[in-house]
Each structure stands twice: as C-alpha cells, then as structure tokens.
Structure 1
Amino acid sequence: MRVLLVEDHRELAETVAAGLRREGLAVDVAGDGAAALERASVNRYDVVVLDRDLPVVHGDEVCRSLASDGGTARVLMLTAAGTIEDRVDGLLGCGADDYLPKPFAFAELVARVRALGRRAGPAVPAVLVSGDLRLDPGRRTASRAGRRLDLSPKEFAVLELLMGAGGHVVSAEELLERAWDEAADPFTGTVKVTVSRLRRKLGDPPVVETVPQAGYRI
C-alpha cells in the first residue's frame, strides 16, 4: 500500500512516516498543500493522510481537489479541531473519507489507514487465502501450509499485492509503484530481487509465476 503523508510539522511527519514504514507501507511525505497536490498528480496513492491546517494550500482545498480529480485515493483528515461540527465539515464539506483528531494513538492511525486502503481499489477479503497460502494484513502475518513465513516489509507488501490480484498478472512497474516510495530507483532490479527472495521463502512447489513481458502472478 502506498501512502502520501501531508504534514507541515517536520518532526511529527518524520516520526509518523517512519512508523508507517515499519508497518510495511510505502510512504511519501509532503510538507505543504501545494507539494501534496504535485505528488498526487504524478503518483498513484491508496491513502492520503492529510493534515487540515497546511501552509500554501489549505488542507480543505487539497481534499476538495483530490476528490474532484476522480482518483481512487482515500483521504484521512488529521486536525486539532475536535468538535462534532468540525468533523462533519471535514468529512462532508471537503470530501474526506475519514477523520482523526490530534493527538491520536499511532495504532489507531495504522488501523484507519489500512481500512481505507482496502477501500481504495476493488474489494478484497480482510484475510487473503490462495491454496495453502494465508496472509493477514491487519496482523502482519503470512503462512504457508501452517508454517509462519518470516518476510521483510517489502516481501510482505509484494505478496499482499500478488494475492490481492486474485490470479491476475501484476506488472513489475505496478509493484514498484505501490510497494515502494518515490525514493526507489525505477531502473534497478529491486522488484526482481525482492520477488526472488520471496520465492525462496515461500518454498516448493513454486507459487509465484513470472509471465514474460507482463509481470508476476499467483
């Protein structure tokens, strides 16, 4: 899952981004509303975590712009305003999909981001199952034939995308776009290396198929 975090408080942004990355999410960071709109115009995000009180372009305007563009990204609005009227205005007036007042518990932020991420594309089960493979994104666990798999965050993210595709091919470009952030070099063999490591950990018989000139599928 790829997330855009928009927060002008640099220390808070770095802390939250680091925590989300530890949860296996690909995270880009923008420090103001204009930078957020620029990133959203060139990258595909599953969820945008959007602080409401932003410089340059206010969070409300960013949210309205994202909603009017017809994209699939879900918006989680963060704000220090805590009244019911403020929440209703943020959800209904700006087009936000969810609302979280500051200060917030990080565990709740992660839960809400994951819930919104499941709504960003075609509906998928909360727990993914393919043959003897089982993956639970919420609990961050994966197993094969009852054996727990020790996966890195990127290996887990790639497996989640492949299993969520329901047998359809997922291109290397899409894997790179959705499992890595903007710092990833598109001209490296990052995806190929990660898939190779994932295959070894999944064991035999092989379940990840390479489709020439197309990508990968389970």
Structure 2
Amino acid sequence: MTPIPLAEELLLLAYDDQTGKATGSRIGLDLAMAAAVLVDLALTSRVAYVDGYLKVVDPTPTGDPIADAVLAKAAADDPHTPAQWVQRLRHRLRTRVLEDLVTRGVVHDVDETQMGYIHVHRYPTTDPAYEAEIRKRLAEALITEEPPDDRTAALATLLSAARMEPALRLPPDEAERAHRRLEQIASGAGFAGTADLEDSIVRPSVALVVVALGRAISAALGTPRTQA
C-alpha cells in the first residue's frame, strides 16, 4: 500500500471509525498534524533545523498538495521557529486533510443538522485498509524491540508528544507499557533529545527536526494535569 502523509495517519487514528468523530484532545491533534507535515518535508530532505529555525533546503515539490503548499510558503517567507510553525499551520489543516480523505474515498462526510440550523460534520471510515496498516505498524513497534522505520518512529513520537496515546485504544493494563515503549522509540530515534544523534536509528537531520517539533508541541500543550 502506498504510504499516506503522517498528518493523515494521525487523523485516522484519532477519529472513531463508526461515529466519525474526533476522540481525545482536538488541539493536541491539530498541533501534531501541523508538526507531521513538517516531518514529512524533513523525511524527503526538503526542510532542516538550522540555528533554531526550520529552513527550506530543497524547494522541489514532493507531489503532496498540502505539504507542497507549506513548502512553497516556507521558501517564500522568513524562517520561523518550530513553535511558530506548528501554530501557523494548525488552523484549518484538519479540514483540508479531511477534504482530501473524502475525495479519495477513505472517509465520507456525513452532514447533519442540529437544532434546525447548526451543521455538524462526521467522518466515518469508508476504506479501513489505511488505518489497519497504520495500527499494524504501530503494534509491531510497540511489542517488539526491533527499531521501527523512520516514518513509524516519527509517528510514535508525535503521538506521545501530543498525548494521543488513547488513540491507540489499548486496554488500561497495556497503556502504561505502550507509553514507555513510545518513549523508548523516541529516545532510540534521537527524537527525545537523550540519544547521541550519531547513533540514531534515523538520519540525524530528521531527528533534529522531530525533537524540535516535539518540544514545540509539549510547550504548546503545557504541563499535563495530575490526578489529585
């Protein structure tokens, strides 16, 4: 199956297949999706983290409309920090990604009217194959000690940074172990800032982008609430 953008993968994980509604933190999802677009550009060697900024190093289009729009905007604009980019990109990004998924028949748009005039959209899954493949990759990464590929490592790290572990839909007794494994993946990839980037399982240039974006997401979400 042809890989889909990381932002689409995050959205499919976060939306309930049957109800078509987002689960968990909406702002966490939006921030993670914004970061995911930039990670995809890093994976294709289009952007790099240089002196505290994300900069375009190759303006050649990738073929993905959303990523290419961001790439063109970044190439024409002054460099911005990762924190600035995730805030700039998160607005309406989810709507654009949903529209693309509807166009390709992965989800369908259910337009409902409430109170006679309020339109509410739901996006139940039409083609479950994409999400099944994503969950299979993540499951293999979580239950084995084998290092995952670049994209899966980045996806796992963004899930953790955005506190989207509930999207994995694991039983409570497995959730904590999964959280620890996500952190191990991030560390082994150099995404947690604790590993020597020369020993990273992914390219150091990609690791630098992901760790910077992960920190930006965490800062935007603030300190997690603790149970009293």
**Is this a same-fold pair by TM over 0.5?**
no
Q: Which TM-score bucket, shorter chain as reference?
A: under 0.3
TM-score normalised by structure 2 residue count: 0.26
Bigger helix share: 2
Q: Which has the higher strand share?
A: 1
